[in-house]
Amino acid sequence: MPTSTTCGQADSRVNLLLFSGADKSSVNEIRVTDRRLQHLIEIHKARVGDTVRVGEIGGQIGAGEILSMDDQAVVLAVNLTAAPPEKLPIVLVLALPRPKMLRRILRTVAEFGVPELHLINSYRVEKSYWQSPVLQEDTVRDYLIQGLEQSRDTILPTVHRHSRFKPFVEDIFPQMVAGKAALLAHPGDHPPAPHTINHPGLLVIGPEGGFIPYEVEKFQAAGCDTVSLGPRILRVENAISSLLGRLS
């Protein structure tokens, strides 16, 4: 299982025990030995015979009956019967935030069901952010899994990194926009962000303070409609939650 304790423990009750093929001891049994075991013991107060909600990463959701349990491992018989919830029809493009905020944002992205996240560079993104350990693949995966556990989902969002703004906005972004309603959330006197979206969409959110004019013009030239959340300037993480909540 790719989750680990190196990125910090989840604060709240896990709503879905996620497992991977590496946890399978047989076709319908899994063996768990890491932080998920500690969560079952310390938070759920689980015992042999109890049933918990489980899900296979990339697969279905169902129930797991605890067959045996001690301080070393728990063995569960699993029965997967349901598909995970549908993803939002929204691709998120986000100027790379500071590492502490990125941790929370990765969880949020997974919780809301965003299928695809593109982290991009911007004039106001500090170069040091791109060297942060939070961007390591295993660490990103850990935080996404914590979001999936919270929202009872099993499908990991795909995360792409673009450390150069101009090649991204000129060569990659126009292909991403094709066939989608593209929105650029930016402070200023712009039309309000829509409350729903019923077709494939793309949402662009800038760094603290917003994109510089040159960057805004590039996104607009590529097909983005500029929208606003109102006169207040929100933290990036709050803007993400507000916009995704409106659009979903």
DSSP labels, 109-153: HHHHT--EEEEE--TTS-GGGGG-GGGSHHHHHHHHHHHHHHHT-
- Pair 205, 94: CB distance under 8 Å: yes
Which pLDDT does position 10 carry in this prediction?
41
CATH number where 25 lies: 2.40.240.20
In sequence order, the 6+-apart residues with CB closer than 8 A to the CB of 12 are 150
- Residue ranges of alpha helices (H) inside 35-89 are 35-42
Sorted by sequence, the CB contacts under 8 Å of residue 21 that are 6+ apart come out as 56
- Of 60, 82, 104, the residue that ends a domain is 82
Q: Please indicate, yes or no, whether residues 22 and 145 belong to a single structural domain of this protein.
A: no
> What pLDDT is recorded for position 169?
97
pLDDT of residue 191: 87
pLDDT at residue 5, rounded to an integer: 36
Q: What pLDDT does 209 receive?
A: 83
> Which spans in the chain are helix H?
35-42, 99-112, 137-151, 165-167, 173-177, 213-221, 236-247
Q: Which mean pLDDT values do the consecutive 10-residue runs of the chain (248 residues) have?
A: 40 82 94 93 93 97 96 96 96 97 97 97 97 97 96 98 97 95 90 81 93 97 91 88 88
Cβ(183)–Cβ(141) below 8 Å: no
The DSSP 8-state label assigned to residue 1 in this structure reads: -
- Range of the structural domain that residue 67 is part of: 17-82
Total domain count for the chain? Answer: 2
Please indicate, yes or no, if residue 179 is contained in any of the structural domains.
yes
Tell me if 43 sits within 8 A of 57, measured CB to CB: no
Q: Do 143 and 240 share a structural domain?
A: yes
Q: What DSSP character marks residue 175?
A: H
Same domain, residue pair 48 and 126: no
Report the distance separating Cα 99 and Cα 97, nearest Å. 6
Beta bridge partners of 69: 74
